[in-house]
Each structure stands twice: as structure tokens, then as C-alpha cells.
Amino acid sequence: MNLGEEIDKALDFVTVISFRLFGHTFNINETLVISWVVMLILIVGSLLLTRRLRTVPRRPQALLEAAVEFLNRFSRQQFGRRAKVYGPYIGTVFLFLLLANIIPVLSPVGVSFGGKRYEPLFTIKPPARDINLTAALAVISILMVLFGGLRSRGIKGWAKNLLAPIPLMLPFNLMEYIIRPVSLCLRLFGNILGAFIIMRLVEAVIPFAVPPVLSLYFDFLDGLIQALVFVFLTTLFVAEAVETDEIK
């Protein structure tokens, strides 16, 4: 397989399940399946970690409590008394993106034997390489911004803010509700897809030794960075909308 075919394969979305309902064909591709697996892991993990909480925590519970306290403290700093409203969303999105970005490291790799290349039975691809997923997350985030602004300022206050600092800024302030989600969507999509393609090309050219080393960056470090960037920008937009300086 040449490099062009590797890129085409990286950009392809495999349909896992296809069924007809009410005369329409519905295709469930690998992006949905992997996203559901990630959500299932998070749900099961949260249930297991919170099943038997103790007054005197052991190490797993202590780590969990430290993580929750860090999130609560961060949310209070950013959202003030509205931390309980927006903090859980920020934490959930971060955990989802972090696990979704690093889960490809569990994907089996092909092997070469006797001059032949044997491909793995399946490949776990990062869901964020699908622009539909990143667009959905960006839309949800900007709806949180809109919801936060309306709840914090009311309709009149929100509309008045669109005219700040001068009425001529109205078109530009409205454009932010389009530019911001597009920026969130394309930044996450582009970085994850780029890292995924690079890893596939490296595996095709140098299938031994090098891919596991580079995976530490392109799967772990880059996945963490992109999750942090998405959450940081979402937090910044929401905090600005809810006017935390006035509600702390």
C-alpha cells in the first residue's frame, strides 16, 4: 500500500452497522461506535469509583476526590457562584476528549512476516478526526455561552451587550456566535486529524520501533493538549458570557 492509499484509508469512515427504518437507511460509522465506547468507559468507571465511598478514603478514592476538588476550585475561579451549573459540563467534556484522543493507542498494529504485510483485524481511530463530532461539541459549547449570557444578564442585558462598546459593533458581536464554534471545531479537528495521518504514514514507512515512540506524543501528549485547549477556550467564552466579576 503506497502513501496515497494510506492517507485515503485514514480519511475513510467505515460503516459498522447499516439498517433501514421507515424507508430510510441509517448508517452507524466507526466514529459513533468509538464515541459510544468512550462514553461507556466513562460511565462504568464513574460508577465503579463512586460505588463504595469511605469516610477515610483509600488511594483510588483520594485521587478521585483530589480531581473533583481541583475541578470545583477551577470552576469557582472561572464561574463564581454558577460553578455548579457549568463545572460539570467542563469536566465531562475534558474527560471525554482526553479518553477519545488517547484511545487509539489501544489499537493493534499490523505486522510483517515472510515478506508479507498483515493488517490488524480492526483499527481504533480518534473520533475527533470526524468533523461532525467536533462540530457537535463546538455547537454545544456555544449554546452554553448563549445560555450563560441570557441567564446571567437577561434578554435585555444580553441584547444591550451586543451593542457594546458602541452600536456599530453589533454585526461583529453577532459574528462571534459563528466564528467561535467554527474556530473550536476546526482547531480540534485539524490537530487530531493531522496527528492521526502522520502516525499512519510513519507506520507505513517505518513499521518497527519508531511508531510506539512517536505515539507518546501524537496520541498521549497531543491528545491531552487538544483536550485542554478546547476546554480552556470553552471556559473562557462561558466565563466571559456569565460576567464572573459581577457574580463572585
Residue 110: pLDDT above 70? no
**How many domains does the chain divide into?**
1
**In 56-169, which ranges are continuous DSSP H helix?**
59-79, 83-102, 131-161
Q: Kindly list the distances between the CA atom of residue 6 and the CA atoms of 86, 196, 205, in Å, as whole numbers in the listed order.
A: 41, 11, 10
Question: What are the pLDDT digits (tens) for 142-188?
Answer: 999 998 888 888 888 888 888 888 888 888 888 988 999 999 999 99
Q: Return the bridge partners of 18, or none.
A: 27
Range of the domain at 35: 3-247
Confidence at 120, pLDDT banded by 50, 70, 90: low
Cβ neighbours around 133 below 10 Å, total: 22
pLDDT at 141: 93
Q: Which three cell numbers stand for residue 128?
A: 475527533
Is residue 18 classed as helix, strand or coil in its secondary structure?
strand
Is residue 173 classed as helix, strand or coil in its secondary structure?
helix
Q: How far apart are CA 28 and CA 18, in angstroms?
A: 6
pLDDT at 248: 41
**In the chain, which ranges are continuous DSSP H helix?**
3-11, 30-49, 59-79, 83-102, 131-161, 170-205, 210-215, 222-242, 244-247
pLDDT at 181: 92
Residue 121: pLDDT above 60? yes
Say what percent of the chain tops pLDDT 90: 32
Q: Kindly list the distances between the CA atom of residue 68 and the CA atoms of 21, 34, 58, 65, in Å, as whole numbers in the listed order.
A: 42, 26, 15, 5
Question: What are the pLDDT digits (tens) for 22-37?
Answer: 888 888 888 999 999 9
Q: Which three cell numbers stand for residue 71?
A: 475541578
Confidence at 128, pLDDT banded by 50, 70, 90: very high
pLDDT at 3: 66
Confidence at 247, pLDDT banded by 50, 70, 90: very low
pLDDT at 59: 79
Q: Which three cell numbers stand for residue 184?
A: 473550536
- pTM metric for this prediction: 0.86
